[in-house]
Structure 1
Amino acid sequence: MERRRWDIDQRFTGIASGQALAPGVKRLAEVLDREGWVTEDPEAHLLHHLKRICDEPGSRWHLRDARLQEDGVYEVDVEPPAGLQAAELSIRDAIMLLAPVAEASFAARQVDRSTIECVTGMLDGDGDYAAHGHLIRLRIQN
């Protein structure tokens, strides 16, 4: 028996492949191998945007810490407000936090219940500036 894609799925298959949007995704994946593509100083480029979202009234996030890893990943520790557990937050909540730092290309993946990884940046020809980007790992902690 094939595996359902959601609780009431009766088809077990979709309507098409993902090839319609594959070229842009492949361009983003290819640029990740380019030496020097990840932008320096994420504190200057990203942190103030993330703090602003976390500090808004009713925010679902509290910023605990942020640090740049040796591999270029900007690791950001956040926690949900009192009364919420990490498992109660969805990738949609994480994308709302990451949206202010999104550039022309953006991809996010929920690795596990408490980790969201994101790549965002500009590819060649996306704008007035050279190609560059950011790697962000949200670590949701209680």
Structure 2
Amino acid sequence: MRARWEDDETGRGLGDAKWLVPGASDLLAAFQEPLWVAEQPEDHLLPHVERWCQDDGRLAVRTTSTDDHTFVLDLEWRGEPTSVGHARAAVFALIGSFAESVTYVRQHRMLSEGSLRFEIGTGELAPDTRFQPHGHTVVINVTGVV
């Protein structure tokens, strides 16, 4: 049996998460809309990121760029030496500063680079928005954690 975490004695779960499929499917459908990703993420997202980083102090913006409609943030960990879990919590708090009503996040450990990479899709979906449905794709690279 392959353990799922330390002290895992069963190697299996208790059930499924099917009740989340309709909402996740709505986001997946939005991701496939040809013009769903909004323009100018540096104007819409960067001020939130910079303000959060300045107020919190654990992460600092090194560089930003836009690559194929994806806003790329290269950040440096400036907090105390910590675990990946603590760094993840900080990045999730940062994401919360710009996240819209529906958000997808996936973390990757970039062991060869000694960094963490977070892929984010966030946006507004009908009927839960007063605006036209739209979204942003963001990649956050964090160095200095692992």
**Greater Cα shift, 41-50 or 14-23:** 14-23
Aligned length: 139
User: What TM-score does the superposition give when structure 2 sets the normalisation length?
Assistant: 0.87
Distance 2:72 2:82 in 1: 20
User: What TM-score does the superposition give when structure 1 sets the normalisation length?
Assistant: 0.89
**Greater Cα shift, 75-84 or 111-120:** 75-84
Shift of 1:91: 2.0
The correspondence of residues 1-142 of structure 1 with structure 2, limited to 5 A, is 2-56=1-55, 58-70=56-68, 72-81=69-78, 84=81, 89-112=86-109, 113-142=115-144
Distance 2:80 2:13 in 1: 38
Distance 2:125 2:44 in 1: 17
Distance 1:33 1:83 in 2: 40
- Secondary structure class of the residue paired with 2:25: helix
Higher strand share: 2
Given that residues 37 and 136 in structure 2 are in contact (C-alpha distance below 8 angstroms), is that contact kept between their aligned partners in structure 1? yes
Distance 1:59 1:108 in 2: 22
Distance 1:46 1:9 in 2: 40
Shift of 1:87: 5.2
Q: Note the aligned Cα RMSD (angstroms).
A: 1.9
Question: CA, structure 1 residues 88+124, in 2 after alignment: closer, same or farther (shift >3 Å)?
Answer: closer
- Secondary structure class of the residue paired with 1:20: helix
Structure 1: runs of 5 or more not aligned: none
- Secondary structure class of the residue paired with 1:110: strand
